[in-house]
């Protein structure tokens, strides 16, 4: 069944206890810590990245694609947001991108804007144990599993700015 398959993917188990003329009870056991959270998932080069929905103030779909390479700020409804980019943080060569969306985010330091050039979706992600190789990357909050089963790096915006 679909439920049994999903529970097995999460390394859990389903127990069925049935008593004639009394009914059936199902017990689902999942490993701890298991955290499911809503997020905005987007592509960055060949990586799937996510930002928790709890820090997203707004998603702005630009009327036309825009080049932000000379911009330091983004303005929405007379509010000024500092633009942040992921190239340097993720140690990737910078390339000139034309952006379609801007995520407006709330951080400890105030408001920031993260321009995005690819497809974005809202998804429920399942948080997984952080691999040892990523533990020293303070800009990665965790690793999650997307709705389609693929890995997603959850970005810690507070450690990027």
pLDDT tens figures, 52-73: 999 999 999 999 988 888 889 9
Q: Which residues pair with 99 in a beta bridge?
A: 66
pTM confidence score = 0.72
- pLDDT on residue 24: 92
Binning pLDDT at 50, 70 and 90, where does residue 50 land?
A: very high
pLDDT at 148 over 70: yes
- Residue 23's CB is within 10 A of a number of other CB atoms, namely 8
Please write the tens of the pLDDT for every residue from 76-118. 999 999 998 887 667 666 666 778 899 999 988 889 999 998 8
Binning pLDDT at 50, 70 and 90, where does residue 75 land?
A: very high
Please tell me which residue, 58 or 161, carries the higher pLDDT value: 58
Please answer whether residues 83 and 110 qualify as being in contact, where contact means their C-beta atoms are separated by less than 8 angstroms: no
- pLDDT on residue 33: 56
Please answer whether residues 58 and 102 qualify as being in contact, where contact means their C-beta atoms are separated by less than 8 angstroms: no
Closest CA to 116 of 106, 132, 105: 105
């Amino acid at each position: 069944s679909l439920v049994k398959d999903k529970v097995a993917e999460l390394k859990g188990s389903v127990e069925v206890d049935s008593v004639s003329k009394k009914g059936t009870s199902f017990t689902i056991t999942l490993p701890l810590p298991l955290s499911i959270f809503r997020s905005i998932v987007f592509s960055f080069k060949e990586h799937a990245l996510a930002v928790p929905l709890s820090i997203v103030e707004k998603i702005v779909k630009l009327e036309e694609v825009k080049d932000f390479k000379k911009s330091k700020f983004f303005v929405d409804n007379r509010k000024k947001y500092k633009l942040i980019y992921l190239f340097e943080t993720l140690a990737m060569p910078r390339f000139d991108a034309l952006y379609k969306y801007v995520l407006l985010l709330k951080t400890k330091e105030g408001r920031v804007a993260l321009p995005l050039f690819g497809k974005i979706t809202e998804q429920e992600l399942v948080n997984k144990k952080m691999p040892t190789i990523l533990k020293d990357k303070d800009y990665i909050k965790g690793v999650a599993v997307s709705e389609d089963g693929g890995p997603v790096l959850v970005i810690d915006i507070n450690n990027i700015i």
